[in-house]
Structure formats: structure tokens, C-alpha cells
Amino acid sequence: MTVSRIAVIGGDGIGPEVIEQAIRVADAALAKYGGQVEWNRLPWSGDHYLKTGELMPTNAWDILRQHDAILLGALGHPQVSDQITLHGLLLPMRRKFDLYLNLRPAYLFAGVPCPLHNVDSRTGALLPKPPGSIDMLVYRENTEGEYAPIGGRLYLGTPHEVAVQTNVFTHRGCERVMRAAFEGARKRRKKVTSITKSNAQQFGMVLWDEVFKEVSRDYPDVQANSLLVDAAAMDFVRKPETFDVVVASNLFGDILTDLSAIITGSMGMAASANINPERKFPSMFEPVHGSAPDIAGKGIANPLAAILSASMMFEHLGMEKVGKSLREAVAKVLQDGTVRTPDLGGTATTADLGAACCAAV
Ligand code: NAD
Ligand code: IPM
Ligand code: MN
């Protein structure tokens, strides 16, 4: 049997806490459905940097390339500069490994309290949103846009200091994420919404819109819409059920997926996949959330985002049964509703929720 080699970077704060539960539940699913995984835990983190003076070894990228996938918790440490952690590992990884699709699903599971309600048009009463009524998949561009590391600072520390940060939008970069979004929509409800701000940003976002129009012509069977990002933010709250596939630039996709996470219950349940579709490099799977320093070390972080990210990883690796069983276990535990971490209104610990998912598997 082939062994999948997974590089595990727990990282900072709650990262390692939630990733250990994801591995625990994955091991339960692997034992049941078959499949062999070698988990290669790498200590690369802010704490490791404080201890050793380096975040990761100089051959870190070669080490990562020897794996079939990467499972990552979160990076970001209160005592270590973002230059070391985020700009040393997380963001360069997305570019170096050309992980240009960042898939971020948001689904309202049964049993999850949704902060949004429907309003009964006759009585004005607030009605709970039905499970599954919010079901969107954001395709976030992950290698360029507003995150391109291009710019600089001049006259540092003087009153006339200047900072320039350049957005980079390329025809190729827009086209490849948009084509993937249309292909993805064909397997779903056949609707793609492009997020733009071309009314204000007259170069990059206008190119974005033009490429979206071009690509949409190749998919006449898919409904193509375009929304300005400010109005889209409103509609994520006002009528989230109208979204199916959403395609957005790096920054807009980042912001909107914290919003899509909270309207489907919690930051602690939002999973993501950073994909290199050509499979030239290992793809990377991580929760949408960060290291959550406010709750780190307390053992109360919700591990479901990490478990669902692992589920996406197994589907990517062709281990569909294992991936599906992780997702079904999460759905069952949420529907039962007895084991909930504080973000979902309960008193359970990270490990309790991991154990409940193992039992559900
Ligand atoms: P965050 O996502 O870490 O936390 C935002 C809020 O959501 C906090 O109140 C936190 O307690 C809560 N939350 C997040 N995950 C949770 C979980 N699993 N269970 C329960 N509650 C959860 O965002 P932040 O506070 O803005 O960022 C903290 C650090 O993480 C920063 O250094 C930031 O740069 C970094 N960050 C890293 C990533 C990543 O590695 N992919 C993503 C986002 C933020
Ligand atoms: C995310 C995070 C990162 C991003 C940060 C930590 C740089 O917020 O993965 O959503 O903005 O991409
Ligand atoms: Mn984010």
C-alpha cells in the first residue's frame, strides 16, 4: 500500500492544539477505511524561532517538497515579527508552491446556531435559517493581487516617510482562478459571483472584470454575476443563500471568508485548501482562522476547522472515503449538539470535541 507523506506544521497559538485533534480523528478514519499516512511533524513556529533563532532550516522548501501534502495549523506569534512567521513561511509558501487556488467553503451545518435569521414576511417573526441554506465556496486568488510583496518605504522615521504598496493583477493570474471557479460551479449550483472594486481601483480591478467577462463566455451554462465588494459584504449578511461559487482577489477573498465563517457559526469551523492544481508541488491545508492568542493554551479552541481541512486534504489525495468520513463525523457531532466548544455556546474542550469526532467515525 502506498504511504502518503504529510508535513505537519502546527505553528503558533492554537495551531498545534487543533492540528493534533485533526490527526487523531484522521487516524481513527484511516484505521477504519484503510490508508497509510506518515505524519512528519515539523516544529517551525514562533516559539521555535525564539528558542533556536531560526523559524525553519535553510533547506525547508526542499523538505516540504518531499511530501504529498502539508497540514498547517496557524502562524502568527505575539512576540515574533510577522516578517519572520507570515512573510517567512506562510505567504511565500503560497507563491513558491504556486498554490493559486485557495478554496474556502462555508456551509451551515445542522445543529449549529446561525447568527443570522430569516424574517417571516407576514408576522415579522425571526425564523432560524435552515441547515444547508448557506452553502458557498469561495475561490480566493492566492499568489498575487494585493498581497504581492512589491513596494517599499522611503525617508524612514521622518515626518515625510513614504510607503508604497503595489497591487499586481495579471491576465494569467485572474484567468486561472476564474476558470477553476467556473469548473467548480459546474459541479454545484452553476452560479459564479465575481467580487470587484473596479469603480474605485481603475487598473487592476478593471483587468479583473475584463478577464471575468472573457472567461464567463466559455461557460454559457453557468450564471455569471459581478458584485462590488462593499455590496457583497452586505449581501453575505442580507441574503447569503444567494451565493454559490464566489471568486475573489487575494485580499477580498481573505476578508469575505472571515465573514462567511461567522455567518455559518464560527471561525473555528472554517476550513481551507491551498491548491496547486497541476500537482507540481504539495498542496497545503489549513483552517481559515489564525493562532488566536486570546484563547491559546486554554484547551478550548474549536478543532473542527482543522478536521475539515484534513478532510479536504484526503479528498485531494484521492482518499475519498477517509475525507468523507471526517466530514460526516463533524456533521454528526454538530447535529447531536451535546459536545460544543465555547465559540458554539458550549463548555467542551478541544480534546472533547476531537474525541466526539473519533467516536462518530
Ligand atoms: P484569529 O483567527 O486568530 O482569531 C480571531 C477570533 O476568532 C479570536 O477571538 C479567536 O479566539 C477566535 N477564533 C479563531 N479560531 C478559533 C477556534 N478554532 N475556536 C474558537 N475561536 C476561534 O485572528 P486574529 O486574532 O486576527 O489573528 C491572530 C494571529 O493569527 C495574528 O498573528 C494573525 O496574523 C494570525 N493569522 C494567521 C492565519 C494563518 O496562519 N493562516 C490566519 C489568520 C490570522
Ligand atoms: C488567512 C490569513 C493570512 C492571509 C494572514 C495571516 C497573512 O488571514 O490565511 O486568511 O491574509 O492570507
Ligand atoms: Mn484571513
Ligand 3 centroid to residue 255 C-alpha, Å: 6
Residues with CB under 5 A from ligand 3 (ion): 254
End-to-end CA distance of the chain: 22
C-alpha 140/C-alpha 177 separation (Å) is 8
Q: Output DSSP code: residue 244.
A: S
Retrieve residue 154's grid coordinates.
Answer: 522611503
CATH 3.40.718.10 fits 1-100+274-361, yes or no: yes
Ligand 2 centroid – CA 268 distance (Å): 15
Active site annotation includes 321: no
The pLDDT tens digits for 320-351 are: 999 999 999 999 999 999 999 999 999 999 99
Q: Which pLDDT tens digits describe the chain residue by residue (361 residues)?
A: 789 999 999 999 999 999 999 999 999 999 999 999 999 999 999 999 999 999 999 999 999 999 999 999 999 999 999 999 999 999 999 999 999 999 999 999 999 999 999 999 999 999 999 999 999 999 999 999 999 999 999 999 999 999 999 999 999 999 999 999 999 999 999 999 999 999 999 999 999 999 999 999 999 999 999 999 999 999 999 999 999 999 999 999 999 999 999 999 999 999 999 999 999 999 999 999 999 999 999 999 999 999 999 999 999 999 999 999 999 999 999 999 999 999 999 999 999 999 999 999 9
285 and 99 in contact (C-beta within 8 Å)?
no
Every domain of the chain and the residues it spans: 1-100+274-361, 135-263
Atom of ligand 1 nearest to the CA of 289: 2
- Check if 219 is active-site: no
| 230 counts as catalytic | yes
Closest CA to 56 of 78, 37, 75, 79: 75
Q: Which ligand is nearest to the CA of 251?
A: 2
Distance (angstroms) between ligand 2 centre and the Cα of 36 equals 31
Residue nearest to atom 31 of ligand 1 (CA): 76
What is 135-263's CATH number, 3.40.50.300, 3.40.718.10, 3.30.70.60, 3.40.50.620?
3.40.718.10
Alpha helices in 71-192 (DSSP H): 91-96, 171-186
List the residue whose alpha carbon is closest to atom 4 of ligand 1.
Answer: 292
Please tell me the distance from the alpha carbon of residue 292 to that of residue 13, in angstroms, as a whole number.
Answer: 6
Count of CB atoms within 10 A of residue 320's CB?
Answer: 12
Instruction: Please tell me if the domain spanning 1-100+274-361 has the same topology as the one spanning 135-263.
Output: yes
The grid coordinates listed for 141 are 486568488
Ligand nearest 255 Cα, by number? 3
185 lines ligand 1 (CB under 6 A): no
Residue 7, SS3 per DSSP: strand
